[in-house]
C-alpha cells in the first residue's frame, strides 16, 4: 500500500465493536431511525477519546446516503442536545469533534 495513502487513512480509525444507544435517544419521538443509528455510530467512534472525527462523507458512504442527509441528522441530534460539536485546529487542519451527550445532569442539561 502507498505510504501516503496509509498515513491519511490513519485519521479515520475503525469504530469499536459496540455502540451505546441510551433510552432517552431510543424513545425520543422527535428522532427518526437514521438519526438513532448515526448517534450509536458516533458513540462507537467516541470510545477512545470521547469524541468522533468521522466526516459526513464517511457516514454517507457507510450508510448509502448523501452528505447533506448525514449533516441534517447530525445537526438535528445537536439541536436536541444529544451531540456536542466543537472545532479545533490540529496541525493547522480544522477538525470537527462530535461528542455524544450520554446523560442528563441535575440541572436538566445533557453531558
pTM over 0.75: yes
Q: How far is CA 98 from CA 5, 7, 42, 101, in A?
A: 24, 22, 7, 10
What's the pLDDT score for residue 9?
A: 42
Q: What does the angle CA 37 – CA 42 – CA 45 come to, to the nearest 5 degrees?
A: 130
Domain boundary assignment for the chain: 21-100
Which pLDDT belongs to residue 17?
A: 77
**CATH architecture of residue range(s) 21-100:** Orthogonal Bundle (1.10)
C-alpha cell at 70: 448525514
Kindly give the confidence (pLDDT) of every residue in the chain, 111 residues in length, as a single tens digit, with 9 standing for 90 and above. 444 333 334 455 666 778 999 999 999 999 999 999 999 999 999 998 999 999 999 999 999 999 999 999 999 999 999 999 999 999 999 999 999 998 765 445 444
Question: For residue 95, which phi and psi values (nearest 5 degrees)?
Answer: -115, 130
**Which pLDDT belongs to residue 100?**
97
Amino acid at each position: 500500500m502507498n505510504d501516503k495513502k496509509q498515513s491519511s487513512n490513519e485519521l479515520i480509525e475503525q469504530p469499536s465493536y459496540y455502540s451505546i444507544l441510551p433510552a432517552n435517544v431510543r424513545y425520543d419521538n422527535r428522532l427518526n431511525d437514521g438519526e438513532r443509528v448515526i448517534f450509536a455510530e458516533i458513540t462507537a467512534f467516541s470510545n477512545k477519546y470521547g469524541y468522533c472525527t468521522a466526516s459526513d462523507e464517511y457516514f454517507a458512504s457507510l450508510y448509502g446516503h448523501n452528505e447533506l442527509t448525514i449533516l441534517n441528522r447530525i445537526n438535528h441530534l445537536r439541536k436536541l442536545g444529544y451531540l456536542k460539536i466543537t472545532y479545533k485546529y490540529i496541525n493547522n487542519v480544522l477538525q470537527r469533534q462530535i461528542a455524544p451527550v450520554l446523560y442528563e445532569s441535575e440541572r436538566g442539561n445533557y453531558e
